[in-house]
Structure 1
């Protein structure tokens, strides 16, 4: 489309619109829900058809949160199915990140808005000298809930670079489809984030349940939603990882796009390997950011010497954020293991206790590591030039401290604001 991009036009309208509640800052903690059907969706080839079909079948409501929508064949199909659903009378709220969706044209958004889709932009900001400045504290979640009965959550954005026919830069990624009682929690959470009324959680539903990660049961189909925000739940996702690592007995497999966690999480990974747990990391071998690769490689010697196995996926960029522990626990979501995801961005993962799901995920990751990865070792770890190692060392320690430093700086509070296709009118 030839319309001006989002940050040049509709942000001017947004600036006159009063902000509604900030998403993510909600004092709710969700517990385990049993008797769910969960299915792993690998890459856009599996994900997009299922999501678009669910939207086509929607009868009452669609809630969508995403970091990125591009105006390519995937974004155009998303627009088409949302407009058709809105014209059938389905109530739709789409919450889009102002940075990740910053290049969407006003024409694209206006077509949705005029059809009846309620569009909300998280922390929009205009460009300065052609550069977007709203880099941090992003809405990084990827959630779709349809009719309160089916939910999708994971790391896949609405963009054609999640399809293999995109070429060498096509991303390797994962999402999960959930049906069952856990959808009620994901639906409740999504309603709260988009500012719609949601039934209050009673005190026994809000109780702290972090210790439950230490107890593994024989029951399949259990799902729990975890999220991080900049309010009551700033460390929940990291704490879950640390707890399951401490309780791991046989195997741990982590596949993550951006890997430079804090010292405590690194220590739990190392300690698990010291106990004899089979610990494998699948990381980016072809990253989209050189700094990410340099920082991750600064952890290699520390982990390899402790017995951790590290694989670099080199076929194409790895964008996944998944992990499994032993034979029944898994997680899929939007959270990387880096300072932005663990300390600044709004993220959401699902935890899954299901042996069949765990086995499916393990088999796919095992195929990835055995057939599409380069095995790293202490004596063969690429160190590059001295200046690469120096830069990597500085980047790693800067990123490790960055969230704390960012907290000292004065900053505006991010807001979720309604899109307006005409000045002074709200959607």
Structure 2
């Protein structure tokens, strides 16, 4: 924009200056022609030549019997040529011809007179300004230089913001960036320091919660174990069997509550082979009585917490097996990057308008799916929490088998 404005301004000024200079030179040439025609004798011509050289800086010579050239040589400085041509046309009644390209510092102007051609060699700066282009070049060079400096400065600041964004994204996925340090402008460093302080507060909160839950788990399991022991030592009866079933359900509920509250725990994110992980989960599900088939593309790698993700995927597979007879687990690479894992079943499914409701903690959707007596409605909530903690998402859809499809999308 600066170059365009500068060029527009100086182009207009340059044209104006060239017009004024050309008019002055054309007036001098018209005086030379008129003076010669008033007295074309040799002594008068000699006097005119000396006077023009001394007072006007013009070199004048008469070529008797000649005519004007017929061809014109193109000039790169067309605005100056146009101004000179207009000025000469306005001041001269005789035919004329000029060349602004033959000599670097002079103009060759020829006028047809009765005796032949009157040739005038005039300094170029008498008709055209020659310094404006240099100023424009300097202005352009300075603009390019300053633009380069600005780009380098902005890229340096943007790089600092990108590092901060990468650190925030890694922390949001449960990872850590120990080498991250504030860089860049004062405002960017201040934001980075605020992020580090926030990260430390959140980490302290997670550590405190994990320690508290470990203590609660121990405190709850101790009396539960005593009750189970007393039930095992009691005389067999229907009441004792009912007590054992209640204790087993209570233990399962406590496990699910603690798993939900514990969230992703302290496990680190690492690159994991999905085929191996899914096969391990499928083997465990089959030992638990599930019947399923696998469709996994080879060489699929994802960044995740293996143990936590196993539990989330196991929840989805066992949930599908509990409500359907046929379960298909598939994993494939996504076209835009990342991987997609689907768990399909041929059960009764869930109405589409209740997909999001199914992810609410402690929501069991009894009227849509057969009730799992041991479940407390945390399986899908835990699975989505784990997947979103890895930067992906878990959604539900209609399965080609007629039941429910759970779709896990993980970033690359």
For this structure pair, what is the TM-score category when the shorter chain's length is used for normalisation? under 0.3
Q: TM-score, normalised by structure 2?
A: 0.24
Q: TM-score, normalised by structure 1?
A: 0.23
Higher strand share: 1
Higher relative contact order (CA 8 A, sep 6+): 1
Compare CA radii of gyration and give the structure with the larger one. Answer: 2
